[in-house]
Chain A
Amino acid sequence: MNPFKVLNINRHAVNKEIIQAAARGMREKKYSAREIAQAQKMLLDPVSRACQEFLYVVDLTQAKERLFQQVRKSSDGPEDLEDLEISDGSQLRYLTIFDKNHDH
């Protein structure tokens, strides 16, 4: 059971928000009272919360940002200017090597 999903909160939620989310969950009745209580308990205990965060939270923001910057940096080089010249493909000319009468 993913307690963050059950309580519909993000990983940064503080204890007060967890308790409020549990109360809201009880009203919404999407999950059983037992599940909501269990989720709340899991997230209020620091050790258990760290475990649940490890199990269910995937935050790739930093890694993505790092790669995004790398991509941007790698495409800013001067050698890309020559790519820009043909970036619309207008420089492409068909080759006749595949024409059947090419050898004649």
Chain B
Amino acid sequence: MAKKKSKIDTTLTRAEKLFNAGNFLLAEREFEKIQKKLNRNDITEKLEICRKETRTIKGKDLVKQGHKAVNSNKLPEAIACFQEAEKLLNDPWLTEPWITDKIKELTHQLTCHNMDAKAQEAQASCDYLKAADLYLKAGGKKGGQGSLLKSAICLVKAERYDQAAAIFQTSFQTSFQTSFQISAPWDDPALYYYGFALAKKKKYSEALKLWEKLDHDDKAFAEQNRQVLSLACSALYNTLGKEVDIHGVHNEADYLLGLANTLGDKRWIPRLEILCAYYKLILIETLWAQEKFAAIPDLLLQMTAFNDPMILGLNAKTYFNLSREQSKFLEPMMTFWLSAIYSKEISAKFSDNPDTRQKVQHQLIRLAEQNIHCQQDSQDTDHAASYLAIEKKLLTDLSAIFQKHAPAFDQICTPQYASICGLSDTLLKLIKQSKPYFKDPEHYLETGGYYSKAGKALYALKTHDVKKAMTLIESIELSSQRDEFTDYVRGLVQFELGQVAIENHEKEYLQYFALTPKLFESAPSIEKRFSDKMIQSVDDQMILYEKLLMFLHKERESGPIAEALSFVMTQSAIMKYNRGNMTNKQMKVSLEKALIISPDNEYARHTLKQTLIDLETDIIFDAMTKNKLNKAARLASQSAHPEVCDRYFEFGEEIIDQIAGSGLDLGFQKINLLELLNSFMMVDPDHPLVATIESKLSFMGDK
């Protein structure tokens, strides 16, 4: 008995241990064995706890299995697991309401999945309507865009284009409400079939726009694109002469032209170009009537016949009207204004009478001037005013020259417009042919310069933006074919930049004048103006000018440069002498050099003469101070300058006074006066001072 009791105790102890350790499954087994023997209430309670805990563990395990099955897409198995788990975990304290929802969701998914499978089967057997219906139901059940799109694709295949397009459109609007990034479930098939449905609904451009997103180089697809493009073009042709939304039709024509170019569809490109131009004109006319000028320039720019007088006139008057409100339009106005006014075709409409025509041209120029001056001062107004002044002169000159010497040419225009329309070379050729009729080489080169590749640099130079001019000149490739006009502008820009460098006291200013000798050679009038400016200059830059002129003279020994250099050398020498930085001897050398450079320099000659007089006078004065009266007399008598003799006698007179006031003995005074008299006699016996000394001596002799 004792042994039996001991076995029950051992089992109970083990059961308690397992229970306390949370191993309810084993604890339950042990408690069950003991309970059969003991049938105690406390064991019944513990058994109840063990059973509840075991159910929970099994339930949780089933949940895990259910999730695993979901991940493996084994929906029936997952549903079974969750259902079993739901049964085990149905205690109020264990309630897991989500399991019920999960079972519902999975059951729904399974239904959809089954429907999707059936739909696929129907699709595979080409029963597209049934497939579309099943996809639609599947999509409706699970709210999936993917199934809806599959349904729409099946509808396209079943030729139900309206229905298909409606589904596609709804999905498209939902998917791309915020951005236009193609993303799932929208994929290539969906885009293609949506486009196809649109094409079938005669919305050809919309279809083509969708298909542009498809990166596919299949020949059949390319051919279909061309077919739809043809359909779109045919539809567009049918709008001709009908009342249409002009903006919409114009945009469509523009889009189709772009696409035709991309597809290289040579059959449609020329036709679409005409069609686009036609609708552009209607649009321009509409915008003009509504005074919506701002939208017109872009349309004009797109016109292929840009160089047409009609387009030129439209550009001119559009920018004129725009510039009344905003000064930024003044510059573009200038590009077209004078070209339009001087256009043969446009000006012919002003009047049949040439005089009246000219009056109209002048009045229109005045209107542009008024327009410019009405604006507040700004860089735009300054530039426009400068451009008008430059171009007015250019066009007046060219008009006069070409009228006489190239009457066949009928498109005189501004350099900017010539550049835009590719007329620059023609105009340059005509300018070259008319060279003899320009007033001088500078006039000829400057006119050609504006129409040359360096034209913009010349404009910048004339509007006092030398640095911009230099940048523009530097941007012209040196390797490109050179011509006299570009060389002229390049030389002129560097020359002007050099003068700015001198004004700014830059040390390396000479580098800018490397091309100046060539510039002077091609346009002597510039050299003359520069030389005159140098001659008139009296400022502190004299030494810099002298250095520059020496450099230029070394490269080009022309009359004006020699004159200017000789003058500046003289002026510079005087300045240095006056500041005590040069002696008479040094000055003499400088002046002699100046006279060698320009023998006709009277200024230098006169200054040299004065310098020589000063030099001789200094020596005579020195000799007289040292009582070398005979030497002084010899030098005075030998001098070629009467002024030296005059100075000699002036010194002599001072010495007479000094003798008289010296307080010396009369005998000594007499000796000194006699020496002075002898030297005076050597120079000029008839000089009044000779008589003065003789009278003094006679007076002294009496005493």
Contacts and interface: CB of A to CB of B under 8 A. Distances in A.
B193 A94 contact: yes
Given A60-B310, A89-B202, A92-B228, A51 B364 contact: yes
Contacts of A94: 156-157, 192-193, 196
B202 to A, nearest CB: 6
Contact of B320 (A55, A68, A72, A88): A55
B270 interface: yes
Interface residues of A, number: 36
A63 B279 CA distance: 11
20 contacts: A46-B356, A47-B351, A50-B360, A54-B346, A54-B350, A55-B367, A56-B317, A60-B310, A68-B240, A68-B241, A68-B278, A74-B274, A83-B231, A89-B228, A94-B192, A97-B216, A97-B218, A98-B193, A98-B214, A98-B216
The size bracket of the interface on B is 35 or more
Most buried by A among B200, B274, B284, B317: B274
Given A51-B360, A83-B234, A71 B271 contact: yes
The interface residues of chain B, by DSSP majority, are classed as helix
A70 B274 contact: yes
Given A86-B227, A89-B200, A92-B227, A67 B360 contact: no
B483 interface: no
Contacts of B521: none
Contact of A95 (B220, B282, B284, B321): B220
Given A89-B202, A94-B157, A47 B363 contact: yes
B285 interface: yes
B47 to A, nearest CB: 59
B237 A92 contact: no
Interface in B201-247: 202, 204, 214, 216, 218, 220-221, 224, 227-228, 230-231, 233-234, 237, 240-241
B359 interface: yes
Given A67-B281, A84-B234, A92-B227, 13 more contacts: A50-B349, A51-B363, A54-B349, A55-B320, A58-B288, A67-B277, A70-B274, A75-B237, A83-B233, A86-B231, A89-B228, A94-B156, A98-B189
B188 interface: yes
A100 interface: yes
A98 B320 CA distance: 54
B524 interface: no
A79 B233 CA distance: 14
B646 to A, nearest CB: 75
B356 A64 contact: no
B561 interface: no
A84 B231 CA distance: 9
B281 A60 contact: yes
Interface string B311-334: 001100100110000000000000
Contacts of B4: none
Given A63-B310, A71-B274, A97-B221, A50 B192 contact: no
Given A50-B356, A58-B314, A74-B274, A92 B224 contact: yes
A89 B231 contact: yes
Contacts of B313: 54
Contacts of B200: 89, 92
A71 B360 contact: no
Nearest to B366: A51
A71 B221 CA distance: 29
A80 B25 CA distance: 88
